[in-house]
Amino acid sequence: MSLASRIADFALGLQWDSLGEGRRQKARWFVADYIGSTLAGSTLPEAESGYVLAQPGAVKLPGSECGLTPESAAVAMGTLGALLQIHDGFGGGGNHPSSSIIPALWALRGHRPIRDLFLPAAAGYEVACRIAKGSHPAQTQAGTAPTSTTGVIGATAALGRLLKLDRRTLADAISNAAFMAPMAVLRGLTEHGSVVPLHGGIAARTAIEAVRLAEAGLNAGDTVLEGGKDPGYIQVLRGDAGALQPESWKGEMLDGVYFKPLPACRHAQPAIEAVLAVLKEKALNYKEIKKIVVKTYPMALVFGQPPRESHELYDRLMSMPWAIASSLVHGGFGFDNVVAPARDPRIESLYAKIFSVVEPDYEGQYPKRLCTRIEIQMNNGETRTGQCLMEYGVPSESGPYSPRGTTTPPLDEAGMRRKFFDLACRRVSRAEAEALLGEILQAETA
């Protein structure tokens, strides 16, 4: 059988009862956490970018009365939920499965109860993360961003389960998705392009279109994923199609999905945590800083430039120097850093004092751990140091929900609830947020 057919068999055959309670709870949080991220993202001025391609229709996003077509809703929700860079990610693959899978499911949810999204989400996450794991970090190092390239396949598999497609139709849809996949070029991320937050949503839209084409009897071929005499999609991503064995998948990749405690690029978080470690020992006056030395791993340095002059939101959140300087000026890091004025002379004054270098030991620990050490030299001759050894690629079925090795306490069940309300209540009332989260976490599925 073709790889697409075997992935279709997995997606259609996965059973809720076969997942342990830890994985089932994670699937609920996949939906809840991304809805919270979407609600908070919708309050930002940059949310307008998610509606540039929008067309009117019947689908409504969380917290909005604006009706959109399914394709438009997928792009918009994929964008809004990613704006804060606080949506979940997969430690073993460098991808954010939520920003393509959850919007695709929401767009085609129709009148189904929210519990009907949990199992399709779990199936989609497993597929996307398997492909991401098999190509990590080679895919990123080759210049493509795995969120969209793997998310489009995962989102298609999830839709197949939600819509109860037959095996042939879903296999065709998966092949179509591989053929039409949005190949997000990593350079856009490192250049901090303002269109970049859309790429997860565009992958969600592509998944919807791939399904529609398959339902109409159109397909891209049986072996688009694995290839033959010429390369297939998996090889293009620098992965090994032969290593993908859907018959043995049981949801293990869900264990490696983490939830973010901070709104920033994952490659900026270790630097933020190192600064927080410094501040935890004793507060400091940013005006008295002479020099900041950042010792980290090579991939973090890809995001080691200050924002461009306009300091757009995405530009700031993907910039390690901004994250460091903002943490020092504000004495911490959270949502308030993000919504503060984009241009701040206090923050910008620190850029020239930041010097980043590769630490060989940290380079060797990537991608299992994301490590950074900050050395802050003060004008009085004192040197303050802080370190973060974040266990980014270490899976866990039972928790915590966020990576270990951080100054910020790892998210447990209570922490996830606090995070959800902090995000959701920026758009809806506390009562509405509590009702929504209760509906998600108390729901069971067949």
- Predicted local confidence at residue 117, as pLDDT: 98
Mean pLDDT of all residues in 344-360: 97
Per-residue confidence band for 446, with pLDDT thresholds at 50, 70 and 90 = very low
Half-sphere exposure of residue 62, counting CA atoms within 13 Å on the CB side? 34
The pair of structure tokens assigned to 181 is 């996949």
Homologous superfamily of 3-259+412-441:
2-methylcitrate dehydratase PrpD (1.10.4100.10)
From CA 140, how far away is CA 252, in angstroms rounded?
Answer: 22
- Where in the chain are the domains? 3-259+412-441, 269-390
Q: Would the pLDDT of 444 be above 70?
A: no
Give tens-digit pLDDT for 358-403.
Answer: 999 999 999 889 999 999 999 999 999 999 999 987 888 777 999 9
Residue 445 has pLDDT above 70, yes or no: no
For the domain 269-390, what is the CATH superfamily, name and number? Answer: 2-methylcitrate dehydratase PrpD (3.30.1330.120)
Q: Residues 111-164: pLDDT tens digits?
A: 999 999 999 999 999 999 999 999 999 999 899 999 999 999 999 999 999 999
Query: Which of 251-265, 321-335, 432-446 has the lowest average pLDDT?
Result: 432-446
Write phi, then psi, for 386 (nearest 5 degrees).
-150, 150
**Same fold: 3-259+412-441 with 269-390:** no
The per-residue pLDDT for 189 is: 86
Is residue 300 very low, low, confident or very high in pLDDT (cuts 50, 70, 90)? very high
Report, as an integer, the average pLDDT of 290-309: 94
Residues 6 or more apart whose CB falls under 8 angstroms from that of 22 comprise 255, 397, 398, 399
Contact indicator for 358, 334 with CB cutoff of 8 Å: no
